[in-house]
Structure 1
């Protein structure tokens, strides 16, 4: 089932359950998907849908960090709840061991030896793990292995 169909089904269920919070989060994501579709001028592929969903999750994580550092626990808690809902739609995340294996393998494939090769490594890794891992976590692992 595509992400759009799953969101539509879950939106109907949230309406039936009178779950206003989940309904608003799903509507925001569906709106982002529709905006991206309009921008591209065609239906979104599953990969494009995943890209939009990943972007939404990343935006919320960045905002969460800002709210926590500013001491806005009320807003931070709301974002944590939104993230829990959004993460239901992401593919299963890779474990640290799996991610580390992918990083090592890609460094070997690319022939990277120093931090100057960071861009090549990140460019090769990101399509492999799209939606399955956080970019900052990958960045940290690549830096560890290239230093």
Structure 2
């Protein structure tokens, strides 16, 4: 994507293995489980194209999230093939998702890459957005995500 801005967040998940996270992506299944990842900002979740039926690549979910400022927004995210990742990855596990508009055009992307650490898993999350987002969209909440 040209004319983009990226937010990169690095964090460690203690007592969580990369294999647990691999399992998580395709087994969220409901809003209650989705909220476990981020109880204050993850609001609602359901699969439109279930990975258990159709496979991981191409699975599509719809969710509602909050950016931490009370503003809730809907997301449609399609899991992509990590081989098509637009950034260089440096960890052994990679999840790539594309946020879609109503016509299935990619409007933003998220890449979570992670690997085993001494305490669990170290993860780098990269959020890619087009430049010129409306001012009411507050991306600073992603730093806590």
Range class of TM-score, shorter chain: under 0.3
**Higher helix share goes to which structure?**
1
TM-score of the pair, normalised by structure 2: 0.23
**Higher strand share goes to which structure?**
2
TM-score of the pair, normalised by structure 1: 0.23
